[in-house]
Amino acid sequence: MPRLRGRRLVTGRARGMGPSWSSFVGSSIVGEPVPRDHQQSDAEFRRRRWVAALTLVIGSGLLGWSLRLPPGDPLFYLATALLAGCWVVGALLSGPLHLGYIRRHRSIRQHSADGLVRPWFAALLLGLTVVTLFVLGALVVRQVPPLRAAVNAVLDHARLGSFAVVAVIAVVNGLAEELFFRGALFAAIGRRQPVLVSTAVYTLTTVTSGNAMLVFAALVLGLLVALQRRMTGGLLAPMITHLTWSLGMLFLLPPILG
């Protein structure tokens, strides 16, 4: 039960029971970004931009090719492997990448002298939240045949191919995308609206797949992980959230839309 201390109502949470779910999730996407020093010289910045641009062109072509292959085609595995390699190589060649930190609730700042910790838990919670929202959306989508068909066109690669291999592909490509889009590309954009620009580019890249539902998913997920990248100054939070979302969609959507 809450108790009064002077004129203040002291609850269990105020006595240090820990941060709420909303504070964990919200702290990774909104608020004041954590302090960082990721400066590059003009020459290094121009090089990052050239590498990012070239990688984007090649990767967009590979993505369109992989998702236009018929489900069950063995070339799908080769195409997605090349795509992941493209994103990873481009990200690593572009310049330094960072994992990032997050400000944590005062009750657990004792683990870090400056109040900054790695955003493992907050990113996982956000990923689970996005999975929940997409699952609820799938319950609506399955009632609309054209939308259901668009989602199933992507899921059929898992149904008609090797599920285990497709799961590995989902993990590897999700991490590779974050290395490039929220790593190399985000840094190459500079300080003028990197969240909006990186989200727009990420969304437009999926247009080559010809799948409207995949484009919509890229818009929603891309915006959230870009906000994480801005807040934390690094890749760890976007990678965890993206990985959680990818595996959630792979395991939960087929029985819902099947």
Question: 205-249, pLDDT tens digit by residue?
Answer: 999 888 899 999 999 999 999 999 999 999 999 999 999 999 999
**Average pLDDT of the chain, as a whole number:** 85
Q: Over 70: is that where the pLDDT of 2 sits? A: no
Predicted local distance difference test score (pLDDT) of residue 102: 86
Predicted local distance difference test score (pLDDT) of residue 6: 42
Residue located via tokens 């699952």: 135
Tell me the β-bridge partners of 103: 116
Predicted local distance difference test score (pLDDT) of residue 39: 77
d(Cα 186, Cα 49) in Å, to the nearest integer?
10
149-157 average pLDDT score: 89
Q: Over 70: is that where the pLDDT of 56 sits? A: yes
Which residues does 90 contact at the CB level (< 8 Å), separation at least 6?
Answer: 51, 52, 54, 55, 56, 58, 59, 180, 184
119-144 average pLDDT score: 93
4-23 average pLDDT score: 47
Q: Over 90: is that where the pLDDT of 34 sits? A: no
Share of the chain above pLDDT 90, in %: 58
Predicted local distance difference test score (pLDDT) of residue 13: 46
106-132 average pLDDT score: 76
Indicate the pLDDT class of residue 40, thresholds 50, 70 and 90. Answer: confident
Least confident of 9-13, 201-205, 227-231, 251-255: 9-13
pTM of the entire predicted model: 0.85
